[in-house]
Structure formats: C-alpha cells, structure tokens
Amino acid sequence: MSTVRDDLERRLALIEEPASRHVFTKLYPEAARAAADAADARREAGLSLGALDGTIVSIKDLFDVQGEATTAGSSLRRKADAALRDAPVVARLRRAGAVIVGKTNMSEFAFSGLGLNPHWGHPGNAADPSLVPGGSSSGAGVSAALGTSDIAIGTDTGGSVRIPAALNGVVGFKPTARRVPLAGAFPLSPSLDSIGPLARSVEACAAADAVMAGEDVRPLAAAPLRDLRIGVPRGLLFTETDPAVAQAFEAALSSLSAAGARIGDTPFDDLLGRMAEATAAGPIAAVEAAEIHADWLDAEEAAFDPRVHARISRGRTVTAAAYIRMMRTRAALIEAGDERLAPLDVLALPATAIPAPAIAAVERDDAAFARLNLLMLRNTMVGNLFDLTGISLPIPGRGKPVGLMLLARHGQDRRLLEIAAGVEAALRG
C-alpha cells in the first residue's frame, strides 16, 4: 500500500519537472517528510487526525511561517523580520495533519489578476505554460492543477482564488470575509481579503475551509439540483465575454436546467452602477494598500513591480473623508445585494470573461496588461465588494479551461459548498 511518504516523494519529484518552474518560491522537504512519516505512523496505528491527515498542502507566499520572512511575492520583503509564529491557518492545517510541502508563487503583494511576477518568475498555466496562470494565487492554481499539492491555500481580495482556479481547471472557493482568520497573512485590503482553498474537488475545498475556519470537518452532502433557484445577472458582467467562455457557460446552464434547476435572469446592473459610483475616487483595495505600504512606497519604489506600485499609488489620492463615505455606501450596498439574492439560491456567471491570455501578450505591453487585468477581475470582484461567498468550478471542455462561478449570500458558505457539489456532479455528467 502506498504511504504518505511515497506520495510526498512523488510530488517533490513533480515539482522538479519543467511544468512546475516558478510555481513554488520555497520548499519544506525535510519538514514535509517528518509530517508525512508521522501521518504514516498514525495510519499504521489505526489513528487519524481527520480528513486532511496526510494530505499534501501548499500555502501562498504571504502566510507567516515561524522563523522566516514573509515575502508576499516581493523582493523587498526578503529582508523583513522573521515571523515569530505560524499564521493561524497554517497552524490549524498542521494540527489537522496536513503535510505542507512549500510556498507557492503569487502576484507581488497579491495585486493582479493575471499572475505574473518579475521577481520570482512567471508560473506557466497548467494547461499551457505559454499562458498566464491567473492571479494573484498563481502558483496555487498551477500546483492544484498539476497535482503537486492536493490542496493549495490562497487568498482572494478581488478574485485571487477563483481566477487561477478557473484558468487552470480546478475548484476555487472564496469564503465570506472574516470567516477564516486573516492574522499572519500579509494584507492587500483588509476589508476585502479572504482566505480560501483550491483543489480538484469541492469536497477537498470544503474540508480545507472547515479546518481553516476552526470547524469540525463534516461529510459534504451534494444539494439536489431540482428546483434550485439560479439567477443570472446578465448585463454589464456579460459584456466583452470571449465567445468560447460564453459557449461553455451556456452549455453549463443547459446541463443544470436539464437536472431540474430553475434558471432566470436577475437584474444586478443597478447595484453595480451604484458601487462603481461609490468607488469612483479610487478602488478600495488601492486605498487600503496605500496605507499598508505607506512607509516604503516611495523609499523602495525601485524594488516594486512598476505595475503594482502604480496601482497602489493610485490609492494615495483618495482623502480620508472620501474613503469613509465610500465604505459607508458599500455597507448599504452589501445589504441591498443581500436582499436582491434572498429569493435565490445562487447567482451564476462566468468566473472570468476571458480564458487565459498568452504571457507574451501582457508581459511587456502595459496597455494590454491593464485592460486584460481589469477584465479578468471584473466578474469575481463582485463577490468581494458585496461580501458574498463564491466558488469557481471547472466547466468540462476541450479548449482552454473555463470556470463557472456561483455566488451566494454572505454567511451561506456551507450551503454554497453543498450546491457546488451538486453542480460539480452535474457538469461532470
């Protein structure tokens, strides 16, 4: 019978393959071997720490690990003070028996939906290494898809779990904000940040989410799709959608309809317009990031990815009064959005309007990068701005990977995972 140690050694060998180039920023081979041996010893004794015992897990390069600097995908963080303790989510994963194999690459300071990193190198998409991996949890998406980890832990501030999941053909779950403790995770935007898993199944994501949230892991029962109420927010979120993405999305809806789901259009453009008006002075993420980076934004400018520096700097132009008003309006819109979703079980839309573009198309072209980055983030960021829980599921097909995104009301995380398990089964046929 294969052991956890055998499984780990196979993954470590895979990480050395060309497809995994730039996917990891740090490996923990000896610590992982010790954890794998401990899991095997428990298994031999008939003991188990639960669903994640012996599971190979990777963590995004912004989580604190005791004794080392947390670089958050940036070269200027290499000289940061060493973390005094593991981030709570890392500690919880270890206590659950997870074998943490390493830290995965990311967009610098988690501020891009495309996943490029000039400091650590660009991970190639798992389906085609010439394509972008999606960001900001770029290495996490590729690792989960290639199988170098069973579960990859990322963060999601505007889509940074769901985008790489969609572009690499895996499942990515964004919980309600503050469900999982953010302590020990280098922040981008504390009002929008959330921590979530990427994996090859909804069930694996549900188990990781429960452990990170400090809950008992319970078996996930797939929700029946008959009479499931699915709203489709056609309008602004469907403009500029790639034909292949649109075709895959409509095929997915047809599968769900055939399974008995009740699908109808749900107006959402009015709320999107009001949110855009409220944040017209500058994106919330940029405003909050400008405060986080204030002490070194000028002094260390040369060390930044210029595109990241420019996006963070934009937040410095927003006054305190404008920011407070923005957040007050957002709070009201969160409640309005919750009310709009009350008659539904989920909203459904493409996770990203476009499939993964070529790295070469955006690597040196600032205009193309800016345009495609905004388009990549457009649909997923709705979940963060309106404080929803969301998930991206791979839509089976022969072309580039495409994700189906489901969004549910805040706090309905378990219900969304149950629905997603039912949808996953229907899509797989």
**CB-CB contact of 149 with 195 (8 Å):** no
In a domain, 315, yes or no: no
Confidence of residue 397 (pLDDT cuts 50, 70, 90): confident
Amino acid residing at 71: T
Give the integer Cα–Cα distance in Å for 101 and 36: 10
**What does the pLDDT look like over 270-314, one tens digit per residue?**
999 999 999 999 999 999 999 999 999 999 999 999 999 999 999
**What does the pLDDT look like over 129-159, one tens digit per residue?**
999 999 999 999 999 999 999 999 999 999 9
Give the integer Cα–Cα distance in Å for 333 and 326: 10
**What does the pLDDT look like over 240-266, one tens digit per residue?**
999 999 999 999 999 999 999 999 999
Calculate what percentage of the chain has a pLDDT beyond 70. Answer: 100
pLDDT at 398 (0 to 100): 76
Confidence of residue 426 (pLDDT cuts 50, 70, 90): very high
Whether 313 is catalytic is no
**What does the pLDDT look like over 67-90, one tens digit per residue?**
999 999 999 999 899 999 999 999
Give the integer Cα–Cα distance in Å for 401 and 248: 10
In a domain, 41, yes or no: yes
CATH code: domain of residue 103: 3.90.1300.10
pLDDT at 270 (0 to 100): 98
User: What is the total count of domains within the chain?
Assistant: 1
pLDDT at 267 (0 to 100): 98
In a domain, 334, yes or no: no
pLDDT at 429 (0 to 100): 87
Flag whether pLDDT at 336 surpasses 90: yes
In a domain, 401, yes or no: no
Burial of residue 392 (CB within 10 Å: 0-12, 13-18, 19+) is buried
Q: What are phi and psi of 305, to 5 degrees?
A: -65, 120
pLDDT at 1 (0 to 100): 80
DSSP string, 146-205: HTS-SEEEEE-SSSTTHHHHHHHTSEEEEPPTTSS--TTB--S-TTT--EEEEESSHHHH
Q: Peptide bond preceding 48: is omega within 30 degrees of 0, i.e. cis?
A: no
pLDDT at 354 (0 to 100): 98
| 304-333: average pLDDT | 98
Whether 137 is catalytic is no
> Token pair of 364, please?
């040196």
pLDDT at 413 (0 to 100): 98
Cβ count near 157 (within 10 Å): 28
**What does the pLDDT look like over 33-66, one tens digit per residue?**
999 999 999 999 999 999 999 999 999 999 999 9
Kindly name the residue from 20, 58, 136, 189 that is annotated as catalytic: 136
In a domain, 356, yes or no: no
Confidence of residue 222 (pLDDT cuts 50, 70, 90): very high
Average pLDDT, the chain: 98
In a domain, 188, yes or no: yes
In a domain, 172, yes or no: yes
| 356-366: average pLDDT | 97
In a domain, 393, yes or no: no
**CB-CB contact of 105 with 112 (8 Å):** no
| 22-28: average pLDDT | 98
| 213-236: average pLDDT | 98
Closest CA to 59 of 95, 82, 25, 31: 25
Amino acid residing at 120: W
pLDDT at 249 (0 to 100): 98
Kindly name the residue from 137, 138, 149, 160 that is annotated as catalytic: 160
> Token pair of 52, please?
């994640």
Domain of residue 61, residue span: 4-213
| 170-182: average pLDDT | 98
**CB-CB contact of 155 with 136 (8 Å):** yes
DSSP string, 293-326: TTTTTTTTGGGS-HHHHHHHHHGGGS-HHHHHHH
Calculate what percentage of the chain has a pLDDT beyond 90. Answer: 99
Kindly name the residue from 60, 103, 174, 400 that is annotated as catalytic: 60
